[in-house]
């Protein structure tokens, strides 16, 4: 089912705001890694948002994902301060790892390995 136009707009705004929150207000949660918000998937009623994050270096992803999940309340509160004039209710948030960059890197290294043969 395709997201509604309103859902897409809210998702884009949440993605933008969370990017700023994670780089400024919640930078301590990243523990020296680079965390990028690569996407946001909204429920049809806008009450839940699945946040896709990419973490570099990838080998630190387990600790960073645990930190983000444990502090989702703090991040949601910061998000609520930014969205309070746009939404009646700030959606519940959950973080998921977007490992597409690691997958691309793995494929690239395999292709480069074949060139060396």
> Is the backbone of residue 51 left (phi > 0), alpha (psi -120 to 50) or beta?
beta
Judge whether residue 99 has pLDDT over 90. no
What pLDDT score was predicted for residue 32?
83
Non-local (6+) Cβ contacts of 110 within 8 A are none
| Domains in the chain: boundaries | 5-115
Q: Which residues pair with 34 in a beta bridge?
A: 56
Beta strands in 2-114 (DSSP E): 34-42, 48-56, 92-97
Average pLDDT over residues 87-106: 86
What confidence category does residue 117 fall into, taking pLDDT thresholds of 50, 70 and 90? Answer: low
Q: How far apart are CA 23 and CA 84, in angstroms?
A: 20
> CATH: 1.10.260.40, 3.30.300.20, 3.10.620.30, 3.80.30.20. Which one for 5-115?
3.30.300.20
Q: What is the average pLDDT value for the chain, to the nearest integer? A: 88
Helix (H) or strand (E) holding 48: strand 48-56
Average pLDDT over residues 2-20: 90
Express each pLDDT in 30-61 by its tens digit: 878 889 999 999 999 999 999 999 988 888 88
């Amino acid at each position: 089912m395709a997201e509604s136009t309103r859902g897409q707009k809210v998702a884009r705004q949440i993605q933008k705001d969370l990017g700023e929150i994670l780089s400024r207000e919640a930078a301590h949660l990243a523990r020296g890694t680079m965390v990028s918000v690569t996407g946001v998937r909204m429920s049809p009623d806008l009450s839940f948002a699945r946040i896709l994050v990419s973490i570099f270096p990838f080998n630190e992803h387990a600790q960073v994902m645990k930190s983000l999940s444990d502090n989702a309340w703090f991040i949601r509160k910061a998000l609520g301060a930014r969205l309070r004039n746009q939404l009646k209710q700030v959606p519940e948030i959950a973080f998921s790892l977007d490992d597409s960059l690691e997958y691309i890197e793995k494929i690239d290294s395999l292709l480069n390995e074949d060139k060396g043969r």
